[in-house]
Amino acid sequence: LYNCTSPRFGPQCQYSLDNYISTDVSLNEIINSYYVQPYESKILTCYIHLQCNRGLISVCLDWSEICDGRIDCDDGSDEEHCWIIMNNKCKDNEYRCDNGQCISKIFVNDSLNSFDCLDRSDEHQISSIYFQYNNTLPIFENEDIICSWHEALTYSFSPRSVFTSSCMHQRHSLIAQAMFSYKPDFLSYDCFLALRCRFNIPLYDNSYCSDFCQNEECSEMIGHYCPSLFYFPSVPIAYGHIYFAYTIQNVMNSTNTRLIQPEYICYNGELCNGIQSNGTLLVLNGKICHHIQDFLPLVDIHRGDWYLSYVRPIHAQLSHCNKIIHGNNSIVCNNSNMYQCMNSLKCIPLSYIGDGIRDCDYADDEEQTLIDTMCSIDQSMMFYKCETTNKCIHRNRIENGYCDCQLDEYDICDDENIELNKMKRKIRFSTICNNFVDLLPVIINGQHHTDETDCQFWACNNTYTRCDGIWNCPNGADEIDCESSLLKCPLNHHVCVSPLTNELMCLPIEKANDGIIDCLGGTDEPALCLIGNDFNQQQRFYCARDNLASCISPTYLCDGIIDCEYGDDENFCNSNSTMWNFVPNDPSNSDAQEFFYAYFYKTLFKPKSVESLLIESKNLDINTKEVRSSMISSNEHECNRGFLLRVWLDVNKNLSTLTCLCPPSYYGDSCQYQNQRVSLTIQFNVSTKHQQTPFILVISLIDNSIEQIMHSYYQLSYLYIRDKYTKFNIYLLYANRPKDLTKQYSIHIDIYHLLTLNYQGSLLLPLKFPFLPVERISINVNIPPTNTIINTCNNYQCIHGECIHYTNDPTHTQFCRCKSGWSGRYCNISHICTCSSDSLCVGIGANNQSICLCPMNKFGSQCLLSNNVCQSNPCKNGGLCISSDERSTSYYPYVCICSKGFSGNDCEISDTKIILSFHKDIILPVRSLIYFDYIQVIDSSSPIQKKSSKIICHNDTSVVVSWSHPFHIAFMELPSFQYYLIIVQKIYHQSSVIIRTIDPLDRCRPINELFNASIVQMPLIQRIKYYHLSCQNHPLNVSCFYDEVHMCLCYEYENQRLANCFEFNHHMTVDDFDFDNKTIEHICGEDSSFVTTTSSISSVTSTSSTSPLTLTSSTSPLTLASSTSPMTSTSRMSSIPFTSSTTSILSTASTSSAIASSFLSSTSSLGSSTLTTNSHGSQFRFAFIVDDLLVIVSMFSYFYKI
């Protein structure tokens, strides 16, 4: 072994990094720092595994230009087999990308900056993202994507190029440059140079033109040396056969000093139909030429940009002239995924219908009737139905810069304001009847209904509106008696500015909204100066005038310009600080300025409600660790997208050389060639009982030869509790370049139990498109349970192995799983295994190197190295330490698998325990599952709902469940949607024990038990406005109730009972697919005490909720089984304020500070008990409250063994 001195590294310290000036950082940080530095690539990378003659354009082929829907090679070889992928059919649980690729549906719209479709069609708003290669890592989201030329035609503001599907803008420039570089034989050199100078092509350094010719001189030279009619450029500008043509007279007579508009558009008549002519047609070199007037006006609106003014519009108008459109091919056109164009032999993929690009000669593929028909039968998420007009549009037209759905009466466009449109149709409890219209109108029985209609039963002063700075009640009752740092007023008074003194004053509530202006700016009469439609209401400043009063924008206040007749907008100002540059609490501000800033800021920028839309990337990994390395990089990378490395050949002679470490997507001495590769994105699911089981997986690229060569492989470790949301991105490369197209390739995945190295099963992912340079696979798969392995086969003779069925293949595909030292399709090829004796030899790679599975805490290619991070076992309370995968870039060196009842990074946290006993009238189901729903309230975002389950084997009178996640509300759920409220706690108490007796009054009632049929049958927007009545009309026996989408709690608020509702998923599943009836019978028959607690986490976009923390009679199942609390069911419903003494009683050794401000405000304590253990767990205290009496009972530790 060698001990290398920084910056040297390697087995013999033979490598070093030039310009590296920092120490003590990881390789991952060094690489990230290297690629963050801006650079310009010296070379244009090429795909050379397809012989492509691009005709007159001398630009090499890019991998993204293969199967991109347009022929780039003269012989069409780049599009030869692509109809296969366009005819690809996806499964029901898959999403079909625009290019025909299938991905798991759960990956759709899961991250704006990470794409699972090669063409990026799985994410909306793709047009707003443009990729520059000069400062990005060479990873999936930057390398394995296509910026389709179609986007340039469908997005109004797209920077895409119609010349290429590469995301590298440099390729667009080089292709355009090459188009003007070709000089045909029939053009003289003088003509060619004169044309380039006269057309002022911006792609070139045309400095020679000043010596060669100026505008008038160039025109004369063109007239003298050029033919009377010619193409310029001399190569096709679109679809391989469309040219721009000019006459000498047109060029000579043009007064345009920038670009000259094409005079004729010429094309192959056999490829273009449906073009009407208003004049005489010409023929030039076998092409039919139409005058430019036959097309939509081409106007130079882009300041001399030849491409944007002329080239892109012609691509759009003549898109049906694309040579790739299939015709007279029954194999292709008779497929169910294809559409036959009207009056034509052409056929196109169904995904082209309605995409904004004319593909059929007579544009029938863009007719709305066809689009609506396809939309009605669409199962592939291909179309979007406009909410306001019921019109269907292609999904690619969403947020493309045009309003395709038409603006509604509120100037909202469905397809351009998707998220806003969703919010305007989402009923949110916190915004009902708050004096602001948040919902689009719904017509019910001819009447328009919004969240602000029929509010007579709604309390405008509630936990959401109270003291938020906005008048939600007409007289501002919700803002009375709120704390103000500006002025202390008596009860039932508002703060405002006196119009006489410009000083703050107190206004009685009786004078608020009485039609008489008492305050400067009319703040006491807010209805006077509201402007805009329902969704853009703005409060304005009232100006007093002699003749006609007026209102001005608050942005005009204190701007130094008098806008009101008497100077009302400027008289109170001490400083010229407008709304846009105002600095709160600045000593130079007057009190009136501070008041108006707070008043108008709240109304101009109305705060989002607690259940406002939370937009997040499911897989976003934000690393805030400071990168301490610094890599000095030149402006030009010698290795293109690679990493420059110095190799020391002879240290004594100071002899070294530079080499390039290429990322998997490139190869070559300068990483100049694009690699054939498989880019796999994979996410795993496991059954409940395996959620704490660590697995190790070998993911390999194999072929179907007798040798069954393992071309490349990747090992990864998987642990659900650590990796449940992780999408693993893996490159798999072929052993030979180019790959053998006569072979069939597949991804083979072997799964092993990390602790024992026992075999768990195998998965097969066939690669169906070998003609693609980059085969993109994005899939979500299940890790099979152990008992699903089928090792009996009929037609396989495995000589030195066993025959196994792939667990994910419904056709029961089989393979031979070979014994150690054997490989090949039939396990008949021997090899010498070089793995360590305590490891598992699972195969041999293409380089004849053994593939070794290492036991825990061992690593290396032969498992000869030890990882000692878990040697001291940092995991507490019996937790199991698992060292992190050496291939991972995680900053955490280990992960702990905690014993039941503990959680935390080091298993240092005891789970919350809920101990329930039941009233005699509540009968638990026998030999079945019951569920527990937990609601966590997070300030300013949506509550999170989680769920667990438990098996009940006998007529149990008590239940014990453990839960390791924070929560504020908990319910027990019995079959047929029978919910019981367990607890509502304003503060989450970590590691506490909650003891409760559930009685019938804890049952959450369905709304059909609280309202008559006429109310129950109302649409939700009407019905929800009656929900407060359920708490007011049933004060003693309703603590909670629910409808089809909400769970509601009753609470006391300022001498009245109100409802508070949040969205609740009644159909949330728990990962209990292991527990069918037969399994439950087996478990209960085996051990009557067996229980299991599982969880399924799901974020719920819903309202925050205030709920009652009311007292309940509580019988301990452990110590008070025979005696009932002296509290009666009547006293149960009395509300006790959440005082500091109550809080201290509920506090434990570990108390979370998670406070739910609006959801759990104004609440009181539901009768519950809290257990606190000392550090040794030898005894604990049991505390509960009965009618303000604190009872503490000491108990022995054996009761704590739960």
824-841 pLDDT, tens per residue? 999 999 999 999 999 999
The 10s digit of each residue's pLDDT in 773-801 is 999 999 999 998 876 777 777 667 899 99
pLDDT of 203? 62
Per-residue pLDDT band at 202 (split at 50, 70, 90): low
- Minimal CA–CA distance to 344: which of 443, 269, 273? 273
Confidence class of residue 1174 from pLDDT cuts 50, 70 and 90?
Answer: very low
**Contact between residue 791 and residue 804 where contact means Cβ atoms under 8 Å apart:** yes
Is residue 528 exposed (0-12), middle (13-18) or buried (19+ Cβ within 10 Å)?
middle
pLDDT for res 976: 87
Alpha carbon of residue 600 to chain centroid: 34
- In the numeric block, which tokens belong to residue 1084? 């209960």
Q: Is the pLDDT of residue 661 over 60?
A: yes
Position 532 scores a pLDDT of 53
Phi, psi for residue 972 in degrees, rounded to 5: -105, 135
Per-residue pLDDT, 1128: 29
339 with 352, same domain: the answer is yes
Cα separation, 500 vs 745, in Å, equals 86
Q: What is the DSSP letter of 626?
A: P
Copy the structure tokens of residue 448.
Answer: 């328009």
Percent of the chain with pLDDT over 90: 45
Q: What is the mean pLDDT of residues 54-81?
A: 89
Q: Is the pLDDT of residue 11 over 90?
A: no
Give the pLDDT band of residue 239 (cuts 50, 70, 90): very high
DSSP state at residue 474: T
Tell me the C-alpha distance between 551 and 556, whole Å.
11
- For residues 739 and 803, state if they share a domain: yes
Q: Are residues 336 and 309 in the same domain?
A: no
Q: With CA atoms as reference, report the closest residue to 985 among 964, 967, 959.
A: 967
Is the pLDDT reported for residue 562 higher than 60?
yes
Q: What is the mean pLDDT of the chain?
A: 81
pLDDT on residue 1121: 27
Q: How far apart are CA 564 and CA 400, in angstroms?
A: 43
Q: State the sign of the Cα–Cα–Cα–Cα dihedral 258, 261, 263, 267.
A: positive
pLDDT tens sequence across 318-351: 999 998 765 556 778 888 888 999 988 889 989 8
Strand partners, 894: 883
Structural domain of 897: 867-901
Locate 656 and state its tokens: 């070294």
**What is d(CA 1112, CA 1128) in angstroms, rounded to the nearest whole number?**
8
Does residue 627 lie within any of the structural domains?
no
- Helix/strand/coil for 866: strand
Give the integer Cα–Cα distance in Å for 201 and 182. Answer: 14
Q: Tell me, yes or no, whether 823 and 929 share the same domain.
A: no
- pLDDT category at 1189 given cuts 50, 70, 90 is very low
Residue 53 within any structural domain of the chain: no
Q: Does residue 894 have a pLDDT over 60?
A: yes
**Tokens 């490989």 label which residue?**
823
Residue 1089 has a pLDDT of: 40
Q: Examine the domain organization and report whether 317 and 333 are in the same domain.
A: no
Q: Is 132 a domain residue?
A: no
**Is residue 108 a part of any domain in this protein?**
no
The reply to whether 872 and 828 lie within a common domain is: no
CA–CA dist 136, 132 (Å, integer): 7
State the average pLDDT over residues 1076-1102.
50
List pLDDT tens digits, range 21-39.
665 567 777 788 888 777 6
Distances from the Cα of 135 to the Cα of 33, 411, 659, 665, angstroms: 10, 39, 21, 17
Structure tokens at 1128: 């009666």
In a shared domain, residues 700 and 841? yes
Average pLDDT over residues 1076-1100: 51
Mean pLDDT is highest, among 687-691, 749-753, 1154-1158, 1159-1163, for 749-753
Q: What is the CATH number of the domain that holds 891?
A: 2.10.25
Tell me the C-alpha distance between 43 and 948, whole Å.
Answer: 57
- List all residues 6 or more positions away from 605 whose beta carbon is below 8 Å from its beta carbon: none
Q: What single-letter amino acid sits at 91? A: K
HSE, side-chain direction, 13 A CA sphere, residue 429:
31
User: Residue 938 has what pLDDT?
Assistant: 83
Position 49 pLDDT exceeds 50? yes
Q: Cis omega before residue 893 (within 30°)?
A: no
Query: pTM for the complete prediction?
Result: 0.80
Query: What is the Cα–Cα distance from 600 to 373, expressed in whole angstroms?
Result: 49
Cα separation of 1099 and 1094, whole Å? 17
Closest CA to 232 of 310, 313, 321: 310
- Residue 875 is assigned to a structural domain of this protein: yes
Q: Which residue(s) pair with 884 in the sheet?
A: none
Q: Are 986 and 961 in contact (CB under 8 A)?
A: no
Task: Provide the pLDDT confidence category of residue 290 given band limits of 50, 70 and 90.
Answer: very high
Angle separating helix axes 215-225 and 189-199, nearest 10 degrees: 140
Peptide bond connecting 784 to the previous residue in cis, omega within 30 degrees of 0: no
Q: Are strands 287-291 and 282-284 parallel, antiparallel or unpaired?
A: antiparallel
pLDDT value, residue 1071: 61
Closest CA to 150 of 302, 269, 345, 322: 322
Residue 1169 scores a pLDDT above 70? no
Q: Please, which pLDDT band fits residue 643 given cuts at 50, 70 and 90?
A: confident
Query: Is residue 910 scored above 90 in pLDDT?
Result: yes
Which residue is it, tokens 């209609």?
453
pLDDT band for position 1110 (50/70/90)?
very low
Our count of domains for the chain comes to 7
- Cα angle 460, 462, 464 (rounded to 5 degrees) comes to 105
pLDDT of residue 658: 92
Alpha helices for 496-583 (secondary structure H): none
Question: What are the Cα distances from residue 1, in Å, to 13, 631, 636, 650?
Answer: 10, 28, 36, 19
Say yes or no: 881 and 989 in one domain. no
711 and 846 assigned to the same domain: yes
Give CA–CA dist 809/813, Å, rounded: 6
Q: Is residue 168 part of a domain?
A: no
Domain termination site, one of 566, 588, 608? 608
Structure tokens of 1195? Answer: 């108990």
Exposed, middle or buried by CB within 10 Å (0-12, 13-18, 19+), for 782? middle
- DSSP line for 951-984: EE-S--SEEEEEE-S--SEEEEEETTTEEEEEEE
Q: Let me know whether 1044 and 932 are in one domain.
A: yes
Is the domain of 721 the same as that of 764?
yes
Quickly state the pLDDT bin for 1072 (edges 50, 70, 90). Answer: low
The number of angstroms, rounded, from the C-alpha of 336 to the middle of its chain's C-alpha atoms is 32
- CB-based contact 1198:1184 (threshold 8 Å): no
What's the confidence (pLDDT) of residue 212? 82
Is the residue at 672 inside a domain? no
CA 221 – CA 214 distance, rounded (Å): 10
Position 637 scores a pLDDT of 64
Please give the pLDDT value at position 806.
92
Convert the pLDDT of each residue in 360-404 to its tens digit: 999 999 999 999 999 988 767 889 998 888 899 998 888 887 888
Indicate the DSSP class of residue 786: G
* Closest by CA position to 382, among listed 52, 96, 658: 96
- 198 within some domain: yes
Q: Do residue 507 and residue 396 come from a single domain?
A: no
What are 585-621's pLDDT values in tens digits? 888 889 999 999 888 876 654 544 433 322 223 333 3
